[in-house]
Amino acid sequence: MDRIAIIGGAQLNGTIPVSGAKNSAIKLMAASLLTDEPLRLTNMPRLADTRFLGKLLTRLGVQVTESDGPDGQQTLLHAPEITSGFAPYDLVRQMRASFNVLGPLVARSGQAKVSLPGGCTIGARPVDLHLQAIEALGAKIDLHEGYVYAQAPRGLKGAEIRFPFVSVGATEHAMLAAVLADGVSVIHNAACEPELVDLQECLNAMGAKVEGAGTPTVTITGVPRLHGATHAVIPDRIEMGTYAVAAAMAGGEVRLSNARPGLIDALLDKLKEAGAGVEETADGCIIRRNGQRLSAVDIETAPFPGFATDLQAQFMALMTTAKGESRIRETIFENRFMHAPELMRLGADISVSGGEARVRGVERLEGAEVMATDLRASVSLVIAGLVARGETTVSRIYHLDRGFERLEEKLGACGAQVRRIKGDGEAEL
């Protein structure tokens, strides 16, 4: 398995272009199941997760073609017919978002057999709200031997869907299923993440009638069929936030381009509060820190527009060398502090109790061998490695490859000393 080695101490100076958002791209790819015409996605990130979903979609009957055109990286997805409604455990277990093929499959072909995803390292992550939504839309749902069997031979019907709490995946899943339902569906207590707005724009470009994404109430007027479209994937706010934190950690001046303002305001506010220089630009932001030590600030994760859980590990890494004590509360996932013991191997002073971590800033981190436990945890270790004395090696970076495109190249172009050490054989996802 590959590892990443970082020699700490270099400041970051330069420009980092932000890629298309992984967490949007994989839901948009699933939307290709809804039409027999081609869906062209531009600004596509090339990641292990997008390749992986491409593999699953191919098994279901989607022709997936990647190309690099004048508009950058594109993926063309074309499902003239659904050749299989079966998503096996092997594939869904490895990437939970694969579960979101269930709704589009039932919506288009009236049936699906999709594996339950099981737990994962950041929490139990059940899919009860997804099933509640698909059932409300009139599908008959049965669970047997780890599989969801969903049937709606006469098609789905518009419905009122009320989520008891906010779920990004369940909101997206409900939207993906309801676009072809007969009648009007209203999703109450919908997630408001920018990726939902991106999905709405793509579905509407395909002929759907979706309104309200980005607010807690989404209304979908079902249409009998969707057509092909071209859609540009929204910039990755988590990648943008990650490099913003990396720049604040290493010092120097980094411009994040090819993004949008307003995607990571909660993080930028906290970076300012900690003492970093933050300047918003038309297509991203500039982050500066010249010499002065940052101050500890507290964060609490929350659904958008709050502080993203997917940036919590990175912010914890930042706080390990800040002046004072920072309290980090995780409210979205119950087990998302697996990076804390790894950061402690680098000399961080962290104690975790329940959903709260206390980070007492130290003057210096020391390079060490550490292990990635999930996608965002792995990049937090790279960020810490940027300032740790000596060399830090991060193993199990197949987690990192799921969600960060050309990380070594992007950080290296700004002066970081980061290299990939090739292992023996390709890692499984």
Q: Hey, which residues are catalytic here? A: 120
Q: Is 128 a binder of ligand EPZ (CB under 6 A)? A: yes
Residue in 8, 347, 385, 403 binding ligand EPZ, rule: CB under 6 A: 403
Terminal C-alpha separation, the chain: 11
Handedness of CA 240, 312, 262, 68 (dihedral sign): positive
Residue in 47, 57, 127, 264 binding ligand EPZ, rule: CB under 6 A: 127
- Specify the residue, 253 or 310, whose C-beta has the smaller distance to ligand EPZ: 310
- Specify the residue, 315 or 333, whose C-beta has the smaller distance to ligand EPZ: 333
List of residues 6+ apart from 363 with CB closer than 8 A: 321
Residue in 51, 55, 78, 125 binding ligand EPZ, rule: CB under 6 A: 125
Q: How many alpha carbons lie under 13 Å from residue 199 in its C-beta half-sphere?
A: 36
Q: Is 376 a binder of ligand EPZ (CB under 6 A)? A: yes
Rounded distance, CA 319 to CA 327, Å?
A: 9
DSSP state letter for 98: G
Q: Is 77 a binder of ligand EPZ (CB under 6 A)? A: no
Output the smallest distance, CB 420 to ligand EPZ, in A: 21
Q: Is 367 a binder of ligand EPZ (CB under 6 A)? A: no
Residue 337: closest CA among 387, 376, 298:
376
Q: Is 380 a binder of ligand EPZ (CB under 6 A)? A: no
Q: Is 253 a binder of ligand EPZ (CB under 6 A)? A: no
Rounded distance, CA 59 to CA 205, Å?
A: 25
Classify residue 257 as exposed, middle or buried by CB count within 10 Å of its CB (0-12, 13-18, 19+): middle
Q: Is 161 a binder of ligand EPZ (CB under 6 A)? A: no
Q: Is 32 a binder of ligand EPZ (CB under 6 A)? A: no
Q: Is 404 a binder of ligand EPZ (CB under 6 A)? A: no
Q: Is 192 a binder of ligand EPZ (CB under 6 A)? A: no
State the residue for tokens 């740790």: 388
Residues binding ligand EPZ: what is the number (CB under 6 A)?
A: 22
Helix (H) or strand (E) holding 72: strand 72-78
State the residue for tokens 């050490």: 421
39-42 β-sheet, strand order? 63-69, 72-78, 39-42, 229-232
Q: Is 312 a binder of ligand EPZ (CB under 6 A)? A: no
Rounded distance, CA 245 to CA 274, Å?
A: 11
Among 57-65, 126-134, 255-263, 320-328, which window interacts with ligand EPZ (CB under 6 A)? 126-134
Q: Is 339 a binder of ligand EPZ (CB under 6 A)? A: no
Could you list the residues that contact ligand EPZ (CB under 6 A)? 23, 26, 97, 123, 125-130, 167-170, 191, 309-310, 332-333, 375-376, 403
